[in-house]
């Protein structure tokens, strides 16, 4: 029996020594708890940053402020009636200097801005009656408004420009005894009512000759 026992022990020792090393190592379980990340996720250092969006092109426009100054609200109303001008004053990419006559200056005119002596001469007192008359009145209003909108801003002293009015002569402004004056009309520019994203609104103490 003794030799048989020794033989069995030798066989058992051989089997144990032949087990793979992986079976002899203890199994370690990963007990790290799964957690949601807290705070912003930081990209790897080698990952390129996403470009910043371009700055907003919005802002306050001339069309937003034209009606705020009651001293020029008559002219402001005229600008809204002229589509080409109102769309320009509402466009952030088109700069303008608006030469807005005071209400009192418009009220002192010998004729209304929509009237033209030539119309009365050709058509009489009914020149602005009916559909054709309204069209003539609108054309005259458009000329009046376009004569007071300069497609330049900033507009520097002495810089010559022309208003939107077709065939308009060159105009400029200069300082005289501390007063800003529109030339060659010699009209006093009382103040700057507004400075906004697409230009400025200047208050005039007179009216340009737009005929």
Domain count of the chain? 1
Give tens-digit pLDDT for 126-167.
999 999 999 999 999 999 999 999 999 999 999 999 999 999
Decide if 161 is inside a domain. yes
Decide if 50 is inside a domain. no
Decide if 184 is inside a domain. yes
Decide if 76 is inside a domain. yes
Whole-prediction pTM value?
Answer: 0.71
The boundaries of the domain holding residue 137 are 62-204
CATH label of the domain that carries residue 98: 2.30.180.10
pLDDT score recorded for residue 10? 52
Decide if 72 is inside a domain. yes
Write out the DSSP string of the chain: -HHHHHHHHHHHHHHHHTS-HHHHSPP----PPP----SPPPPPTTSPPPPPPPPP-----HHHHTTT-GGGHHHHHHHHH-HHHHHHHT-TTS-EEEEEE-HHHHHTSSS-TT--HHHHHHHGGGTT-HHHHHHHHHHHHHHHHHTTEES-SS--TT--B--SSTTPPPBEEEEETTEEEEETTTEEEEEEEEEETTEEEEEESS-----
pLDDT score recorded for residue 11? 47
Decide if 82 is inside a domain. yes
Decide if 4 is inside a domain. no
Give tens-digit pLDDT for 27-81.
444 444 444 444 443 334 444 443 333 333 348 999 999 989 999 999 999 999 9
Decide if 28 is inside a domain. no
């Amino acid at each position: 029996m003794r030799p048989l026992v020794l033989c069995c022990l030798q066989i058992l020792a051989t089997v144990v020594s032949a087990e793979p090393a992986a079976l002899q190592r203890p199994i370690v379980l990963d007990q790290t708890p799964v957690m949601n990340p807290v705070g912003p996720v930081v990209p790897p250092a080698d990952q390129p940053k996403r470009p910043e969006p371009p700055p907003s092109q919005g802002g306050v426009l001339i069309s937003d402020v034209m009606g705020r100054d009651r001293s020029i609200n008559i002219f402001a109303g005229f600008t809204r009636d002229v589509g080409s001008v109102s769309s320009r004053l509402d466009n952030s990419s088109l700069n303008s200097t608006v030469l807005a006559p005071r209400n009192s200056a418009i009220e002192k005119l010998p004729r209304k801005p929509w009237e033209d002596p030539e119309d009365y001469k050709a058509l009489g007192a009914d020149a602005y009656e009916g559909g054709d008359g309204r069209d003539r009145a609108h054309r005259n209003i458009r000329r009046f408004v376009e004569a007071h909108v300069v497609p330049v801003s900033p507009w520097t002293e002495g810089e010559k420009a022309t208003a939107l009015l077709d065939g308009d002569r060159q105009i400029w402004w200069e300082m005289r005894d501390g007063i800003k004056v529109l030339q060659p009309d010699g009209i006093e520019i009382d103040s700057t009512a507004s400075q906004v994203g697409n230009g400025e609104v200047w208050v005039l103490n007179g009216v340009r000759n737009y005929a």
